[in-house]
Chains A and B, each alone.
Chain A
Amino acid sequence: MKFTLSWLKEHLDTDADAKTIGARLTAIGLEVESITDPGAVLKDFIVGEVITAEKHPNADKLRLCSVSDGKGTLQIVCGAPNARAGIKVVLARPGTTIPASGDVLKLGTIRGVESRGMMCSARELLLGEDHDGIIELKPGAKVGEPAVAALVDAGLLANDPLFDVSITPNRGDAASVYGIARDLAASGLGTLKTDKVQPVAGKFPSPKKITLDFTPQNKDACPIFAGRLIRGVKNGPAPKWVQDKFKSVGMKSISALVDATNLISQDRGRPLHVFDADKLSGNLHARMAKDHEQVLALDEKTYVLDGETIVIADDSFARGIAGIMGGMDSGSFEDTKNVFIESAWFDPARIARAGRKQAIISDARYRFERGVDPQFVLPGLELCTQYILEWCGGEASDVVIAGALPPPHKPILFDSALVESFGGIRVARERVIGILQDLGFVVEDHGTLHVVPPSWRHDMDGPADLVEEVVRIHGLADVPSVALTRLSAVAMPVLSKAQRRSRTARRALATRGFNEAVTFSFIARDQARLFGGGDEARQLSNPIASDLDALRPSLLPSLLAAAARNAARGFANLQLFEIGAAFDSGMPEAQKTVAAAIRTGNPERHWQKGDETSGLFAVKADLLGSLEAITGGPMSAPITQGAPGWYHPGRSGTIAMGPKVIAQFGELHPKVLAVFDLKSPAAGFEIFLDAIPDTKGKAKPLFAPSPYQAIERDFAFVVDANVAAGDIVKAVKLADRNLIETVTVFDLYEGKGVPQGQKSVAVAVRIQPKDATLTDAEIEGLAQKIVAAALKLGATLRG
């Protein structure tokens, strides 16, 4: 809502200045977005007086002036023909920004003569088109003072601050200058001017009748529809004061007939429509549209309607979408001679639904869907009649009315003590009643208050709404802060296991050198398909961009895309991770929390040879380290070869407990890298945080170290190259679970000395006796059991 201070004061009798009014508007819930003071950009300009004006020694058309700024005189070169001794001018000194150009004025030398300032034209100050000469202020202007007051005095500047107020959707009543004045008056900032609109007597019966053609279930769509004909009008431009008013708030003046309705809409919050009566066939009817009924609206678009949309029709066609936009064919234009004014009240919910369906944004819809004052249906019609008669001439008919005003709001039973128990502030009962009455509520005191909201408020639905009204007018700032009771002396822990897991995973990965990213939950469908997604159920119906249309099935594509963007900037080597949701379908709760990480790039060149940075075993170490941090102990779940198709088929693995996949890892498939345009190698992993079994808060067993010396024995086995090292380790370990503590692969060899197709796997076995030191014979026996266990996998001791 935009309005100027002077417009507001047409309805509000107040001495308050713009700043005070602005602060009050925000304090009562009408948030001021901005107050623009047209004089603000001119604050550095002062009034000057030309003392002498002589011809410039080096130029015929220029004048050399000495100008008083109240303290001294400045030498100024000026090209204006009206620059002459004795006139008062608007003076800019060096350092002042000239509004028209946006340039800061500097000391200048013009044709060899120094110029220490500038005398301004109206155009240079954006105060008009006049650029033939400099502004001449009234002789009384005070030299040296700011020029703003003198410009106002000279009629060049309207000293009229412009307010821009944002109206919340519940406050349809404030979508007019009058409504804003009404709320300010209720808050005590001035008095509302409440002149009644005088009815205009009809000169003849309206030749057009109105009917409400609704089925019983749609009866409330339009309870009242009033109108009248005005014949013999002459449309043209609206009076200048209307045009100026519109200009002051950035509205477009169209024609007298259209401006009359727009003025009432902006000023009084009452949308109206003016039909060209000659283009209507027969009478007017408010009814629901027929399915697929079409209307060519004033925005020159054809809308296809349905049975839930209200229309205003004549005997032949729908002529407008009621409460939203009029029809093109029956609109008022320059040649319009006879008009019919429509003033009606429509059901806000139906207007909102139709407006949303048709995606029409209009001032009428804005107001009707928020609810307009039904009591102003007839005054609005009369006011419009007055304007048209005054501006366009003609003769008004009697008013025709179909239906009746909707009944007044039902009373709300209100216990005024609720203001304190709910609103947190003690307000005396009389003051509560007073505030409500000031706002137009009718209050009856029956012990409990019976409060009837005014006709212009449609957002009052229960006692809490009344508490809000009282608190916002009384002053929200005065509500005292009250501490919540402390639930326990020392705060209790609040995080769930899952939340702690996410936190630990995050810190563990950061500790391992990964940078955390947060990326969008939606990605390109093509990319989603590579990671097992991209199906219809995970598509967005209205994506913000065509490459952000699919709920992501995995976090890896987001990270790979980020890696590619960084690589394009020259950062190919990176470690990135993200913890967030991946989606299994488009159903709520079909999402899992995943910690995913990638390493990309080649090893940095270094004088000491480094390890591979983006290979399988780099990410395996990261994965196991993170899992250990998350679960608080070494990962006992088995690792098996292979992972889903976005990984390298031979260089990927899965960690699972039974059917539950806890994590998968590996180098990424070259085809995937190609799609993301990643040139360097990449490996990554995904930890499914929800799948990790709970480590119940079991107490640790007593610390009981064996008193006997542990011994270490190495075994080198030759085995088929396809046998997994992990299987050998597992088999060896199972040779004697009691004695064998750890089995570690410390060497792997293929080549000379080992038959083709086979490999040598060397393991270190740490044996920890528990009950007694082992004898040589016992150690030998254990070694044989180990060899026998390995043999079951086809592994033989290397000779």
Chain B
Amino acid sequence: MSPRLAPLKIEARREIPRGLLYATPLLAVALTVVAGFFIFLAMGYDPFLSLYHFFVSPLLSFYGWSELMVKAAPLILIGVGLAVGFRANVWNIGAEGQLTVGAITGGVVALAVWGEEPVWILPVMCLAGIGGGMAYAAIPAFLKTRFGVNEILTSLMLTYVATLFLSTLVYGPLKDPMGFNFPQSRMFGDAALLPLLLEGTRLHLGTGIAVAIAVAGWVMMTFTIVGFQVRVLGQAPQAARFAGFSSTRIVWFCLLLSGGLAGLAGTFEVAGPIGQLIPSISPGYGFTAIIVAFLGRLHPLGIILSGLLMALSYIGGETAQVEVGLPQAVTGVFQGLLLFFLLASDFLVRYRLRFRPTVAAAASSQPAE
């Protein structure tokens, strides 16, 4: 009877179902594993063996778990900061640059007192790292709030600048005079290295701090007016203004917070697993943390889990490289795929798919007004 009967009807949901919101990341992970199966198959590797070494074998040893937590620390730290910004529609995608600057400022403090072993050095390094990351994030914050320059492009451009700056330093003024001309600084003194949580591993204090900060982030976002302001600005900027929340202050807050945490992560990397300044501090933690934030649903506690999962993608990539000879680039492919699947599965969260009732059924089921 009706001229246009589509079998499937797509309706926008008026309310987001919580269960589905937190279940879809699992769906995305499952789909990524399935896609990985076919990618390995297409590349001529044994898919079962590859998947096993990618996702399972790193988790079979105690050392594997400890490495997982080492890699998860920067991802969680940065992811929590970015998630707060993303909630407010502040798109800091230059965390990699802020991490690099934080590594530099923290590292410079360590190198400045090289040869001495002052007890205050670690806290000062951390503060320097946070300050460095904040100062670097302040550039896009200033340009955005003062002139309305898009923070996506500026924060990203600054990442390239930071990497080049680090390179300038380790090839130049900070180069180890006894280092056979290798582009790296002196090794930090013992007092400037993060204490290990477990002997025989690289698991350091930074992981514990990252988890503590994620919990603090959750408290802030859920129970305080600060988190409320951030959420309102992101969902309805006009309503934020109506309520008297200053968008300028929130933008500054988000960028300084995410920049500071990225800077702290940078200091943790050089004071933890690396122990000196080298040209490349991070295998893209600042970018991967973007995926971590989304996969954790921009929820600080979710980010702890997604940070561990993305850390697995690094370690799994390394293991699979050693065991089956997979190129390490597989890690990046997996990370991208995971974000694709997550964004696609979001559709299920925001829209309801319904098969239309038949015409006869519809006619006999008129709801009462």
Q: Do A and B come from one complex?
A: no
